[in-house]
Amino acid sequence: MMPDEDLRDTYIKSVLNDVGTVLSSKDLMLLQNTMYAKFEGFTLTRTCKELVVDDGNNADIIKRFFIAKKIEGLSKRSLQVYFYHLRSTLEKIPKRIQDINVTDIRLSLAETMTNSSKIHADNQRRILSSFFTWCEEEDIIDRSPMRRIKKIKFPEHIRRPLEAIEVEKIRQAIGENIKERAIFEFLLSTACRAAEAVALNRRDVDLLSGEAIVMGKGSRERKVYLNAVAKMFLAQYLESRKDDNEALFVSDKKPYKRLGTGGVEDIIRKAGELLGMHTFPHRLRHTAATMALQRGMPIEQVQKMLGHKRIETTLIYAKTIADDVKYAHKKYC
């Protein structure tokens, strides 16, 4: 019979291999270390050519959950967020998943609220709810402990969109960097999320018609549109490229890999920092939506442009405009 240590190593390698495409190297290392620590003192046996752990095996349950979520179409970034919250919660509750109760969850959420914020705690609550609901559906647990956990209320913070003069200042700060200008104009024109933009390939964009097909949240496709400025700078950027990578945006140096969301965030953030402004890709998305509403675009069309499933989400931008009117009234009337 294979020694327990060998079975443990084989099993852990199998888990890491299954989730290796959706987790970062840092997260994989943390998962590996956590599994070795959790398996300490337990006996592993081989049954029907499958590796099982005698204690109920949290790691195997988590592995199955992530496989299910990947099949459902969650993005790599979303899976990483799910993994972070599950890991940080379950590491602090030294129990089998089947034994975790509502008090354990409440104590964990209270700790998050104390050490972080209500928003962070509610994100944790939402992900734990998804996980334990899945566990209930899969008959891993009899009843989800999240059923009695209510949504955590917190003050709604609406990010202020950029003003027209701020947009022009950022353009000046970017200067003659064609790639950075192309990314800035693309985001501002299409209202794409950073993750949607970096997932695009050249063939997804029709510069002649000024249209692009993006894959949004929930694997929902939508059509977005480039204005004349965005088309011009994107065309210049693509013409300047010396690589054959199919990605729409790539890194500056060989081997010219596909640009990640972090790369886009750095470009937008650094341009703002030169002006003493706090800028990020989602603020450009917010700005694009607000500008569209200010110019008279119907809220239903803005909803389609943003790829929102619920119009209530889009109405947040309409509230921003109402707040702007209130501010202007106080200033000028």
- Supply the CATH number for residue 110's domain: 1.10.150.130
Residue 210 included in any domain = yes
Give the helix, strand, coil percentages of the chain, each rounded to 5.
Answer: 60, 5, 30
Q: How far apart are CA 15 and CA 53, in angstroms?
A: 13
Please say whether the dihedral angle defined by the alpha carbons of residues 303, 307, 311 and 316, taken in this order, is positive or negative: negative
- Name the residue with tokens 């299910």: 68
Domain holding 126, by residue range, is: 4-148
Q: How far apart are CA 253 and CA 51, in angstroms?
A: 44
How many domains is the chain built from? 2
Q: Residues 231, 236, 239, 243: what is their CA dihedral angle, to the nearest 10 degrees?
A: -100
Q: Hey, which residues are catalytic here?
A: 193, 217, 282, 285, 308, 317
Query: Do 230 and 324 fall into the same domain?
Result: yes
Please classify residue 238 by burial: count the beta carbons closer than 10 Å to its beta carbon, then call 0-12 exposed, 13-18 middle and 19+ buried.
middle
Give pairs for 173-180: CB < 8 Å, separation 24+.
173/271, 173/272, 173/274, 173/275, 174/271, 178/233, 178/236, 178/237, 178/240, 179/237, 179/240, 179/249, 179/252, 180/267, 180/271
Cβ-proximal residues to 239 (8 Å cutoff; 6+ apart), any chain = none
Our CA angle for 114, 119, 124, nearest 5°, is 80
Residue 34 included in any domain = yes
DSSP annotation string for 8-45:
HHHHHHHHHHHHTTTS-HHHHHHHHHHHHHHHTT--EE
Query: Do 139 and 186 fall into the same domain?
Result: no
Residue 175 included in any domain = yes
DSSP annotation string for 91-126:
TTS-S-GGG--HHHHHHHHHHHHHHS-HHHHHHHHH
User: Contact 302/292 with Cβ under 8 angstroms?
Assistant: yes
Query: Do 296 and 189 fall into the same domain?
Result: yes
Our CA angle for 160, 82, 70, nearest 5°, is 110
Q: Which of 148, 178, 212 is the last residue of a domain?
A: 148
5 CB neighbour count, 10 Å cutoff: 10
CA distances from 22 to 18, 75, 215, 223 (A): 9, 8, 17, 26
- The secondary structure of residue 53, as a DSSP letter, is E
pLDDT in tens, the chain (333 residues): 344 456 777 777 777 776 666 677 777 787 788 777 777 766 666 654 443 333 457 889 999 999 999 888 887 878 888 998 898 898 889 899 999 999 999 999 999 999 888 888 899 999 999 999 999 999 999 999 999 999 988 766 667 889 999 999 999 999 999 999 999 999 999 999 999 999 999 999 999 999 999 988 877 899 999 999 999 999 999 999 999 999 999 999 899 999 999 999 999 999 999 999 989 999 999 999 989 888 888 989 999 999 988 888 888 777 666 555 554 545 444
Cβ-proximal residues to 278 (8 Å cutoff; 6+ apart), any chain = 272
Cβ-proximal residues to 304 (8 Å cutoff; 6+ apart), any chain = 222
Here the tokens at position 60 are 């195997």
Q: CA-based Rg of the chain, rounded to a whole angstrom?
A: 24
Residue 122 included in any domain = yes
Query: Do 175 and 141 fall into the same domain?
Result: no
pTM of the model: 0.61
pLDDT score recorded for residue 43? 65
Name the residue type at position 143.
R
